[in-house]
Amino acid sequence: MDHRPRLYLCTAFLCGVLLTLGFKDFYPDLERRFRRRRTPINSIAGAGLASKDKIDLEDLTRTHGKDKIANVEVAEGIEACVGNTPLFRIKSLSEETGCEILGKAEFLNGAGGSPKDRVALNMIKTAEEQGLLTPHSGDTIYEGTVGSTGISLATICRARGYLAHICMPSDQATEKSELLLKLGAVVDRVPPAPIIDPMHFVNRARNLAADHTADPTRPGRGYFADQFENQVNWQAHLEGTGPEIFHQCGGRIDAFVAGAGTGGTIAGVARLLKPKLPDLRVVLADPQGSGLFNRIKNGVMFDTLEKEGTRRRSQVDTIVEGIGINRITANFEAGRELIDDAFKVTDEEALAMARWLAEKDGIFVGSSSAVNCVAATKLARQLGPGNRIVTILCDSGTRHLSKFWDRAGNVGGITDSKLDEMISL
């Protein structure tokens, strides 16, 4: 019997299997070549590519056992958390006035939680460069302050190898001195006194620093930071706060509003912004009892509350802490000629604004921030809708619980406050 037909059939079958397996690997390449010849080279996908160009594709869905993470610079110490604070729209005030009122969130500075972080860091760095301070040598920094500068100094002193000795008026909120003690600072709470009194908190700090340096039995030196007259104060804002505001606003700002204690913030920011924006209005926010309002308006330091027999305390007669003063400082004078106008803010207006911001925006700030926002609102009413106004939110209300916020009271369930009823426009 002839078996050749069966042999031919088996051979054909095997050849078919082998051909199929080979074509399976060859066909995709053939298909790609065919599609490439039919696709115009100037299509969106192939724009700018010649047919001979080679494209290397990377499968980003596979990590081959290792996560691909971009290199991120790690900050060095708490000092690196100072500056670059957010600027945000204060919604309620913007909607009420028709202006865009922006708050520079200086309470988010990462060391002491206020714009004084910038000043403290700049003063210490400058003193180090001048050979006036040496880390871990026993050097002690002395300062007279109502609180915020002291807290910033105490924090950065610990970070850079120094001790801090803070002198402050005894009528300031107690939580400030308690925080200073927790940070390891020595705290002198002295009775409020005129600047001519040796026991004024600034004079006491200066004298203690000199005594320390002159005492051979004490380690290190005493360095008096002198925030009111040390001009690296305003320079910190010229180099930091001012440029940040300019860039965050894209160079479009109609007015800048700030209070003044040492005067460093308003002077430094004004000196940066005014040359860039000649039409910018720089406006001082001044609490009751302070003489700076009259310094801007009339060229003299005087307030009606300074009349004989009217003063209740030896400093500025206000519940507000951190801004307001009745003497000329080198830092304020550095920018005084650039200040276009000033608004006086009463204690009641500041208290009402603090409650308003908490009620309407969930913003819980201290007394100086409230004063700034009152002045920004008054200016917005004066300028009319469509203007962009920047102000400073200095510190958190948590530093003002025992005094300012104790008088302001709880916001409670109130949701229907009227701005025009709270502020004298």
Q: Which active-site residues does the annotation give?
A: 116
How far is 49 from 41, CA to CA, in rounded Å?
7
Nearest of 255, 282, 279 to residue 268 by alpha carbon? 282
**DSSP letter string, 295-311:** HHHHSS---GGGSTT--
**DSSP letter string, 318-353:** SS--SS--SS--HHHHTTGGG--EEEEE-HHHHHHH
**Which residue type is seen at 28?**
P
267 Cβ contact partners less than 8 Å away, ≥ 6 residues apart:
234, 237, 260, 331, 332, 333, 334, 335, 336, 338
Instruction: Specify whether the CB–CB gap between 144 and 203 falls below 8 A.
Output: yes
CA atoms within 13 A on the CB side of 206: 13
Helix (H, G, I), strand (E, B) or coil at 379: helix
Residue 105, token pair as written in the block: 């969130």
Instruction: Specify whether the CB–CB gap between 293 and 342 falls below 8 A.
Output: yes
349 Cβ contact partners less than 8 Å away, ≥ 6 residues apart:
374, 422, 423, 424
